Chains A and B, each alone.
Chain A
Amino acid sequence: QDQLVQSGAEVKKPGSSVKVSCTAFGGTLSSHGISWVRQAPEQGLEWMGGIIPFLGATEYAQKFRGRVTITTDESTASMELRRLTSEDTAVYYCARVDCRGGSCYSAKNFYYFHNMDVWGQGTTVTVSS
């Protein structure tokens, strides 16, 4: 059964960077997209961005543009977040985006990351001085 396994918990200093990885077992990422979503303590889910590797397409939420980079190779996706502050303390999730039948993109180069069918276990990132 397809599953995504994320890297372990991180403790970082303010101003530093963190890179979280997400490896696909039971399949590859070559025919799917990946979203990154985070949940801060006592807060809701927040979409950070996503990538569709076979289209070479990457999109970032406005809030994170310039501070986050999402990349993939065949079976591993990574999310790097820079200039960390205490407000970045959160659980970070990767999620596979179902692209079957072209459902994650349109002919006009719009990309849809809502259909997140398989999730990683989450990576806790704590930012503290």
Chain B
Amino acid sequence: QSALIQYGSVSGSPGQSVTISCAGSSSDVGSYNFVSWFHLHPGKAPKLLIHDVDQRPSGVPDRFSGSKSGDTAFLTISALHPDDEGDYYCCSYADIYNLVFGRGTRLTVL
């Protein structure tokens, strides 16, 4: 089962913006707008940040935004807070496999 491709780590200073990418293919991200992003704090359950590429659930700050270009989805976090540290995962509906996750990106707030 193929995983979506995410860079291992990214960092930024408080107040800066970072963008995390999630590369898929024409069998998943490229063909469907069923992409979600999750944030994991160590030892805590995942939290939904974005669904359907760019839709933000109620209660998620507008500092978090999602987008897509071709086969790649993006999560942008603006005005970084120390609490934003942790692991970020994308997932997408995929032909045959139904749902695939990325391998995760670790965000460090310097």
Contact = CB atoms under 8 A, between A and B. Distances in A.
Nearest to A121: B45
A45 interface: yes
Contacts of B99: 35, 47, 50, 61, 113-114
Contact of A59 (B38, B40, B51, B98): B98
- Chain B interface mostly helix, strand, loop or mixed? strand
A61 B97 contact: yes
Contacts of A119: 45-48
A37 B102 CA distance: 13
A116 B104 CA distance: 17
Given A45-B89, A114-B91, A119-B47, A61 B98 contact: yes
User: Most chain-A Cβ atoms within 10 A of its Cβ — which of B1, B45, B51, B92?
Assistant: B45
Nearest to A45: B101
A63 interface: yes
A62 B103 contact: no
A44 B34 contact: no
Interface residues of A, number: 26
Contacts of A111: 98
Contacts of A93: 45-46
A44 B1 contact: no
Contact of B36 (A44, A63, A114): A114
Interface in B20-68: 34-36, 38, 40, 45-48, 51-52, 57
Contacts of B34: 112, 114-115
20 contacts: A37-B101, A44-B101, A44-B102, A45-B89, A45-B104, A46-B101, A50-B98, A93-B45, A112-B34, A114-B51, A114-B52, A114-B92, A114-B93, A115-B34, A115-B36, A115-B51, A115-B52, A116-B36, A119-B46, A121-B45
Interface of A: 35, 37, 44-47, 50, 59, 61-63, 93, 95, 98, 103, 111-117, 119-122
Interface of B: 1, 3, 34-36, 38, 40, 45-48, 51-52, 57, 89, 91-93, 96-104
